[in-house]
Amino acid sequence: MLKIRLRRVGRKKQPSYRIVVADSRAPRDGAFVEWIGTYDPMVDPPAFKIDVEKATDWIKKGAQPTEAVQRIIDKASAE
């Protein structure tokens, strides 16, 4: 099953994340199918950029977003 989830990047103690579509069995930072956005929780307010069209296309194809990614998609859709 495919998941839309956060993939950790960045330095130690300064995480930032890429929003990716990946197989649910793959490791958190392992192989992914497509990169659809970014999330930076270290700035105030937290910054995110996501291609909502790609996210909705993947959801229509059966990918399941994690709770954190679903909140980001909802915020991006509202803007």
Q: DSSP string spanning 2-26?
A: EEEEEEEEEETTEEEEEEEEEETTS
pLDDT in tens, the chain (79 residues): 999 999 999 999 999 999 999 999 999 999 999 999 999 999 999 999 999 999 999 999 999 999 999 999 999 988 7
| Structural domains of the chain in order of their starting residue, each with its CATH number | 2-78 (3.30.1320.10)
pLDDT at 35: 97
- HSE, CB side, 13 Å, CA atoms: give it for residue 45: 4
Tell me, what amino acid is at 12? Answer: K
Buried b (16+ CB within 10 A) or exposed e, 46-77: eebebeeebbeebbeeebebeeebeebbeebe
Confidence (pTM): 0.92
pLDDT at 79: 79
